Amino acid sequence: MVRASQLLHSQREPAVPRPAATVLLLRDAAGGVEVLMTRRSPTASFAPGAYVFPGGGIDAADAQAHALANRRPTQDDLRLTQAIAAIRESFEELGVLLATRADGSPATADDVAALDRHAPFAAQCRARGLRMAADRVHVLAHWITDRDLPRRFDVPFLVARMPAGQSPVADEAEQFEPVWVRPADALARHKAGQFFMIFPTIRTLERLEKFASVDAVLAACAGEQPLWTSCPRAGFVQGAEARYMEHEMPFGELALVCPDGQLLHHLDWRTDAPVPLLRNVVRVTAPNPGVMTGPGTNGYIVGTPDSGYIVIDPGPQDAEHQERIWRATGGDIRMIVCTHSHADHSPGAQPLQALCRTKPPILGLASLPTARPASEFTPDRALADGELLQVGGGGAMHTLKVMHTPGHAANHLCLVLLEDGLLFSGDHILNGSTTVVDPPDGDMTAYLDSLDRLAAACDAHGIDFILPAHGHVLGFARQAIQLLKSHRLQREAKVVAAMRAKPQGSLEDWVEIAYADVPPRMWPVAKRSLLAHVQRIETLNLAA
């Protein structure tokens, strides 16, 4: 866990989320599934003027109305209360009644007309012998309002089929202009600036548009667990507010820099200036964007003015880049560490060393004869697996533990900042792309074994974040490593299938099958990792 003393910003307690419930009323139409949406009042305290699904806060009376609702055997009390709240809100806001009569038949338009939308809902259902159809309301998603907002809600997004024979009528107080709309059309209209929606609504519609029918949606929601859960985080991109879910690339960086959710961090890629992530960690991105490097190669500076600094990956030889690193440290560089010897990581080490009066040692592992000529590298001193590198001052230590992680390159190292639970992953783990494993210096079995070592290190050292050489900071470190290994093994299974389909085939034959999901323009690069997979498969006799 990151030390509070190293956070960039003073922390504040986010507002406590209020329990609420929202329901997506669905129907089948010629163009696919349609969902019922309404426009919120322009004076509403939350999301004024936005098109939303009906819903609102959960009242105490909702939890006391269980006896008036039909429930599934697997529907626990919380899910039942949420469904009752959604049924009540859909009636109060849109006059849609999800209920059955005493004989089990669906409620009709006459039942709707007989109820007062401003009077207590449960009592009216009891008086007319109606039972709320909570058993027909299923959970789709679980959203928790972003931590930076002053009003927050903890909201299940529920789904139900629109009752036959009923028509929505807005209350003209909180909701206006009920409209049936296909998710794709709502998203297109929002993009065109004609149909304002907030982030959770947009993301929910993006998932919903993949379903062909209401039956398909309800089948996917047959369990009692949401298909996804999210409490988004926000940052700035080109000066504008942008929000992200947990699986999206910037989320981890926002969680590291602003754990309490404050809207403070700028996500734009800067090659002209260092980007502070913590008081003791600064990212410096080289101006070498490209297909293989993404926005550029990230170097990192670890330490403070009191302790002096360790520089990780000084990047390609670029005088201005090395000078930016030198200036960011005030010239007080104690060590320069190269995670490996590739041309975008280590060539800047000697020019950076030459800028420093104290000539800090260049540390790492020497390249092996298997490395390509452009990746030759000899450090001033070789690092040992498990070695500790320290700088300290001002009452704080900053300790990097060295881990030898061959796979991407034979001399690849990762570094763990022990006091803050951070993993500097070099090229072994990236954000937004897959590491190339390029034989003979790269080895797929070694790569997978190194992933296992890093997963174990997450448990041993409480690692929450991964700081890669390309892309934003990754959160949920152990989960990210597990997903990466799973992806590699899935790709291996595709390679095995290709080799079995064309046992006399070549890499050119197999890449078309095993990497069919990758654009053909990337196949020349993919063939490097394909070869690494093939070598592993043949060694382990996996294609027999």
Q: Which of 450, 478, 506 is the last residue of a domain?
A: 478
How far lies 17's CA from each of 52, 56, 81, 84, in Å?
19, 13, 17, 19
- Residue 28 maps to which CATH number? 3.90.79.10
How far apart are the C-alpha atoms of 230 and 143, rounded to whole Å?
A: 5
Q: Are residues 215 and 276 in the same domain?
A: no
CA 433 and chain centroid, separation: 14
pLDDT band at 176 (very low <50, low <70, confident <90, very high): confident
Examine residue 13 and state whether it is found in any structural domain, yes or no.
Answer: no
How far apart are the C-alpha atoms of 203 and 212, rounded to whole Å?
A: 17
Span 220-274, pLDDT tens digits = 999 899 999 999 999 999 999 999 999 999 999 999 999 999 999 999 999 999 9
Examine residue 255 and state whether it is found in any structural domain, yes or no.
Answer: no
Q: Which of 180, 215, 231 is the last residue of a domain?
A: 231
pLDDT of residue 45: 74
pLDDT of residue 261: 96
pLDDT mean over 178-200: 96
Nearest residue to 416 via CA among 227, 281, 235: 281
Q: Which of 231, 260, 278 is the last residue of a domain?
A: 231
Tell me the three state secondary structure of residue 451. helix
Examine residue 249 and state whether it is found in any structural domain, yes or no.
Answer: no
Examine residue 516 and state whether it is found in any structural domain, yes or no.
Answer: yes
pLDDT of residue 544: 82
How far apart are the C-alpha atoms of 44 and 322, rounded to whole Å?
A: 52
Q: Which domain holds residue 382?
A: 269-478
Q: Are residues 224 and 294 in the same domain?
A: no
pLDDT of residue 8: 96
Least confident of 23-37, 44-58, 424-438: 44-58
Residue count (the chain):
544
pLDDT mean over 292-318: 97
pLDDT of residue 43: 80
How far apart are the C-alpha atoms of 434 and 350, rounded to whole Å?
A: 29
- Residue 350 maps to which CATH number? 3.60.15.10
pTM of the full predicted structure?
A: 0.93
Q: Are residues 204 and 300 in the same domain?
A: no
Q: Are residues 314 and 445 in the same domain?
A: yes
Examine residue 56 and state whether it is found in any structural domain, yes or no.
Answer: yes
Domain count of the chain? 3
